[in-house]
Amino acid sequence: MSLRWSPKRCKTDMLKALIFDVDGTLIDSERHGHRIAYNRAFSESGLNWNWGEETYNQLVKVCGARERLRQFLDSTAVDGLSWIADDPEAFIEDLYQKKTRHFVSIAETGALSPRPGISRLLHEARQKGLTLAIASSSDETNVRTLLRHAFAENIESWFQYIGAGNTAVQKKPDPEIYRTVLQKLGISPNQCLAFEDSGPGLNAASAAGIPTIVTWNEYSRNDCFQGAALVVEHLEGDRNPATTRFGAGKTSDPERIDLQTLHRVHEHWLNYGEPFPTPSNAHPGRRRDRSEHDRFHCVQPTQHS
C-alpha cells in the first residue's frame, strides 16, 4: 500500500520567492566562460594544462572554483606536481585569482547569455511581486558581474539577497547556502522554489527542504535528478524536442513554464511530495486525460550506473 505525502502545511505555505543558482541555471556560463577562464589562468601561470570538454565535464561536478582546482591537483592527471609550490593552498589561491580575473573579463564582453526563458520569467516574477534571490557556489564577484552583463538590463538590484560561494563555508551539495538564503529572506522552505541545473545543486536545495525545478544542460544531462519537483531542459517549452537526449519523438520540455505553471508545480509538491504529474508519472488515481497537468512531458534523466 502506498503512503500519501502529508507535509506540515499551513495557510502561509504559498509561493513567495524564487531562488536561483547562477552558472548553468540562470546563465549559460560554463563552457565558454569558466572553462576558458581556467585555461587562460593556466597559460598565464606557465602551466601546460588544458581543460577540454571531457575533463571539464568531470570537474564541473565539483562545486566551487578552489574546490575544483584542488580536485584536479589531487587527481592522477597531475600526480607528482605538488612541488609546484611550497604551499599548495597558496598556489591554488593564485590560480583562483587569475581565473576570476579572466572570467570577469569574458563576462564583461556580454558573451555569456541567459538560458532560454530566464529573462521572461524574472520579469514575470518581479511584476507579480515575488521575491528573487541567488544561491550560488561561485564567488560574489563572478555572480554580480554576470548579472550586470549577461542581461539586456541591469537586474542585479532585482535580487533581494545574493548568496554566493564566499558566504558559505560548505559548498553544494551541502545545503548551507540555501539555509542562509532562507534565513536572510525570512521565509520557510515551503514558501519558495529553487532552480538548479545539476545533481549537486538539487541535493543542496532538497536537503534544505526546498522543492526544486531542474533545468539540465549538456554537462548535467546524466546527473540523477530524483527528488526534483520538475525536470526540464529549459523554460521555453518544446522549442526543439528532436534534439534532446531522450530521442526523436520524446522531449524533456513541457510547454512554456510561466508563473502559473510554477504555482501549480509548487502546490502539487506540497500536496503530494512528488514530481509534477505527466502522462508517465501521474499521481495514482489521477484521471489520465488531456488536463493542463497531462500536457507536460517531463522525462527524468536516468541515474548513473
Report the catalytic residues: 21, 23
Separation of alpha carbons 249 and 11, rounded Å:
41
Q: Of 182, 186, 185, 183, nearest to 210 (Cα)?
A: 182
Residue type, 142: N
Q: Is the peptide bond before 173 cis (omega within 30 degrees of 0)?
A: yes
* Paired strand residues for 17: 131, 192
Which grid coordinates are listed for 288? 489520465
Torsion of Cα atoms, 251 then 260 then 236 then 124, to 10° = -170
CB 193, CB 20: distance < 8 Å: no
Separation of alpha carbons 222 and 135, rounded Å:
22
Which grid coordinates are listed for 269? 509538491
CB contact set of 290 (below 8 Å; sequence gap of 6+):
none
Separation of alpha carbons 302 and 305, rounded Å:
9
Separation of alpha carbons 164 and 181, rounded Å:
10
